[in-house]
Amino acid sequence: MDRTRHGLWRPTRGLTMARLFGTDGVRGLANRDITAELALDLSVAAAHVLGDRGDFVGHRPRAVVGRDPRASGEFLSAAVIAGLASAGVDVYDAGVLPTPAIAFLTAELGADLGVVLSASHNAMPDNGIKFFARGGHKLEDSVENAIEGRLDEAWDRPTGADVGRVLPLTDGADRYVAHLLSALPNRLDDLHVVIDAAHGAASIVSPRAFRSAGARVEVIGAEPDGLNINDGYGSTHLCMLQQAVVERGADLGIAHDGDADRCLAVDHTGAPIDGDQIMAILALAMREQGTLAHDTLVATVMSNLGMLLAMRDAGITVRQTGVGDRYVLEDMKAGGYSLGGEQSGHVVLSEHATTGDGTLTGLLLAARVVATGESLRDLAAVMTRLPQKMMNVKGVDKDAADSNEAVQAAVARAEAELADTGRVLLRKSGTEPLVRVMVEAKTPEQASAICHHLADVVREQLAL
């Protein structure tokens, strides 16, 4: 059995596998880690697991399948559709749409399952498989484990009229845009916005939604060719949007990632507005509107200390979870909270969405600018970001970070140096083979120095 570069085990008949699912589905190098065979087998296994637990009782099962525009999504979505149909599931093929659109359509159409082929913000060679249960919610860990346990098993195949049928979902974008517009508290008339779609799944629907809401829209990064997704554009490459906003005199810019479940922004001066700042702005707006449940925001341990302090001063409670939007979602669901997200731009607005939705987030952020008459720069000033430095340390045993004595001793020394003026966080990535080192401090120089030192210790102590 071969170990792949993303920590996945290739399916091999008769052998058990390490866990395939990470914090955001199954992800890896397309056609090597994420193969057509794996896509088909996962889809069949998912149908069997959901069917056996009673999800399909009393009706013919249905699924919605969509993808981002990367080239490998073409054959992978075909494999997923084939697997589901062979297991007796009728499939709506939604084509290229954002991940949150597939989650919405799964709920809207009363489907039993949603599947998205996307590697989100990763570079084009990667791809991934993400499942949604009925209602558009991410699968629980126990269900994912059950799916893995059913891979490559023998099964009785339906025949004749019992095989699944495949239908194109031609109005998926229309339904999704209408849903987005219904969530807006006010129109965006005359607001000048630049949208960077990352040559991804939002290339059509996000500009369309903003224009329908009344905004004057200019678009960059919206010419997907299957190979250019996230390449120099989008939420992980803000420089093109910053330049466009300043050169064109726009009020603000909105940046998505490849599958448009993220939103970052740029103010009229070209300054970036990250997920923490966006959440702070939306939290205050929602509390004013009476829609911030329990006056609480759910964020991760990666959120900037400046955001936590600003929310404390505003009388808003911040609950912190592990890193990954699935953990934010779990906490929101358990506590009945209405706003949560990550610094990276995953923002969950549970009144309108079951997962992070970059277009929805951008629309509501723009609506706040219009409603208050303030610039995005002024709104973002509600919090002061502490200098933060983060480094990804690759080529290390990420699972040993918590137990290595030298690493933990270095962290303790750094925390003692920072005292109550900053913090240190080491964590293993849920989607890549690396350890992330994050340091916040009073000055950029101090944050950088401590972060580089800790990264060197991690690299030395945990080298493979």
- Using CA atoms, how far apart are residues 65 and 80, in angstroms rounded to an integer? 8
Contact at 8 Å (CB) between 291 and 338? Answer: yes
259 is in an annotated binding site: yes
Q: 118 a known binding residue?
A: no
Q: How far apart are CA 80 and CA 42, in angstroms?
A: 8
Q: What is the 3-state secondary structure (H, E, C) of the chain?
A: CCECCCCCECCCCCCCCCCCCEECEEEEEECCCECHHHHHHHHHHHHHHHHHCCCCCCCCCEEEEEECCCCHHHHHHHHHHHHHHHCCCEEEEEEECCHHHHHHHHHHCCCCEEEEECCCCCCCCEEEEEEEECCCEECCHHHHHHHHHCCCCCCCCCCHHHCCCEEECCCHHHHHHHHHHHCCCCCCCCCEEEEECCCCCCCCHHHHHHHHCCCEEEEECCCCCCCCCCCCCCCCCCHHHHHHHHHHCCCEEEECCCCCCECEEEECCCCEECHHHHHHHHHHHHHHHCCCHHHEEEEECCCCHHHHHHHHHCCCEEEEECCCHHHHHHHHHHHCCCEEECCCCEEEECCCCCCCCHHHHHHHHHHHHHHHCCCHHHHHCCCCCCCEEEEEEECECHHHCCCCHHHHHHHHHHHHHHCCCCEEEEEECCCCCEEEEEEECCCHHHHHHHHHHHHHHHHHHCEC
Is 261 marked within a binding site? Answer: yes
**Residues 6 or more apart in contact with residue 212 via CB below 8 angstroms:** 177, 181
120 included as an active-site residue? yes
Which of the residues 77, 120, 344, 429 is marked catalytic?
120
198: region left, alpha or beta (phi > 0 left; psi from -120 to 50 alpha): left
Query: Which tokens is 353 given?
Result: 């969405």
403 near 350, Cβ under 8 Å? Answer: no
Binding residues: 120, 257, 259, 261
Residues involved in catalysis: 120
Binding residues for Mg(2+): 120, 257, 259, 261
